[in-house]
């Protein structure tokens, strides 16, 4: 299925670049959730082209636990953490 202009992509397997984005925001996620994560592995993601890129990333944090992160990466590559959700729902923007 083709991506709708302005919409989010289909769900894709995380790549090394996706993990780098997660690593960049890990401390902000830990601060927001009040938890420390020994495991923090990007698994899947969706992206949206804007003036930069919005990402929704599913991150495995150990056991059967996952987080969904909303992250923005500007055109110069700087990454900004927006929000986190601790639920087992489909990977959707929030």
Question: What are the residue boundaries of the structural domains of the chain, listed by start?
Answer: 12-85
**Chain-centre distance for alpha carbon 21:** 8
pLDDT confidence of 28, banded at 50, 70, 90? very high
pLDDT, residue 1, reads 46
Instruction: Measure the CA–CA gap between 24 and 40, rounded to whole angstroms.
Output: 11
Instruction: Measure the CA–CA gap between 87 and 24, rounded to whole angstroms.
Output: 22
Q: pLDDT, tens digit, for every residue of 46-91?
A: 999 999 999 999 999 998 899 999 999 999 999 999 999 987 666 6
pTM, full prediction: 0.86
Residues 6+ apart with CB under 8 A from 18: 42, 45, 55, 57
């Amino acid at each position: 299925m083709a991506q709708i202009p302005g919409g989010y992509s289909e769900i894709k397997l995380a790549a090394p670049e996706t993990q780098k984005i997660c690593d960049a925001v890990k401390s902000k996620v830990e601060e927001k959730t009040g938890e420390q994560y020994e495991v923090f592995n990007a698994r899947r993601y969706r992206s949206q082209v804007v003036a930069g890129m919005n990402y929704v990333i599913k991150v495995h944090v150990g056991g059967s636990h996952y987080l969904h992160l909303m992250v923005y990466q500007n055109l110069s590559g700087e990454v900004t953490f927006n929000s986190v959700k601790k639920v087992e729902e489909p990977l959707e923007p929030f």
